[in-house]
């Protein structure tokens, strides 16, 4: 299992699949549609929770644990769905909604864990969070374009060989890791600025 970014309060790991059935790139994204529908609803809730969390931190310097756990649930669920739809793993993700920060382990091949900062938050950086995150979002736009190209190449690689080329797979997982850290920062789970890194 890959383990990167462990020093950051948001971590993401994907267990490497030895082989993926050749047909999966063609239909796995279709099989994920029920999860995408739930993910859309969770995203709306997570955005509302982040706004409430923003006010809570700016006025009290604290993030309520319940809000942090809901945000953790959303990011974890998003990662599981994307890893499955992007045929990084074959196992269908569970419809699991544990509102806890550490990964509860319902989907062992894809793990997303958090160590949210609840007390003594930096009100200034939280107040300007939307401005501070702009460089990260710009980087993720360009990385997202690259990931689309890599995923298209990955489709053909898996169709013909049943395997992701390791460099391409590592790049996709690295971008997902970067995205996880930015989501945790933007979602106010931490005040630590995310590194510009795929590791």
What pLDDT, in 10s, does the model give residues 26-39? Answer: 999 999 999 999 99
Task: Please report the pLDDT score of residue 193 as a whole number.
Answer: 96
pLDDT at 4 over 80: no
- What is the spatial distance between Cα 146 and Cα 1, in angstroms, rounded to a whole number? 24
Task: Please report the pLDDT score of residue 1 as a whole number.
Answer: 35
Task: Please report the pLDDT score of residue 2 as a whole number.
Answer: 39
Please answer whether residues 197 and 178 qualify as being in contact, where contact means their C-beta atoms are separated by less than 8 angstroms: yes
Task: Please report the pLDDT score of residue 6 as a whole number.
Answer: 53
Please answer whether residues 34 and 28 qualify as being in contact, where contact means their C-beta atoms are separated by less than 8 angstroms: no
Tell me the mean pLDDT in the region 49-58.
96
State percent of the chain over pLDDT 90: 93
- What is the spatial distance between Cα 78 and Cα 180, in angstroms, rounded to a whole number? 9
List all residues 6 or more positions away from 71 whose beta carbon is below 8 Å from its beta carbon: 46, 49, 50, 53, 116, 184, 187, 188, 189
pLDDT at 165 over 70: yes
* pLDDT tens, position by position, 78-118: 999 999 999 999 999 999 998 888 899 999 999 999 999 99
């Amino acid at each position: 299992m890959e383990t990167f970014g462990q020093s950051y309060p948001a971590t993401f790991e994907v267990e490497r699949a030895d082989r993926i059935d050749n047909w999966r790139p063609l239909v796995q994204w279709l099989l994920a549609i029920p999860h995408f529908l739930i993910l859309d609803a969770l995203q709306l809730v997570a955005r509302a929770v982040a706004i409430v969390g923003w006010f809570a931190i700016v006025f009290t310097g604290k993030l309520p644990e319940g809000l942090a756990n809901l945000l953790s649930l959303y990011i974890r669920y998003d990662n599981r769905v994307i890893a499955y739809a992007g045929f990084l793993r074959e196992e269908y993700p569970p419809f699991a909604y544990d509102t806890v920060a550490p990964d509860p382990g319902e989907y062992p091949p894809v793990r997303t864990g958090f160590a949210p900062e609840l007390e003594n938050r930096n009100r200034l950086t939280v107040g300007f969070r939307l401005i501070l995150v702009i460089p990260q979002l710009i980087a993720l736009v360009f990385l997202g374009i690259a990931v689309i190209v890599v995923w298209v190449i990955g489709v053909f690689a898996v169709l013909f060989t049943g395997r992701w080329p390791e460099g391409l797979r590592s790049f996709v997982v690295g971008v997902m890791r970067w995205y996880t850290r930015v989501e945790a920062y933007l979602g106010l789970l931490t005040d630590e600025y995310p590194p510009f890194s795929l590791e």
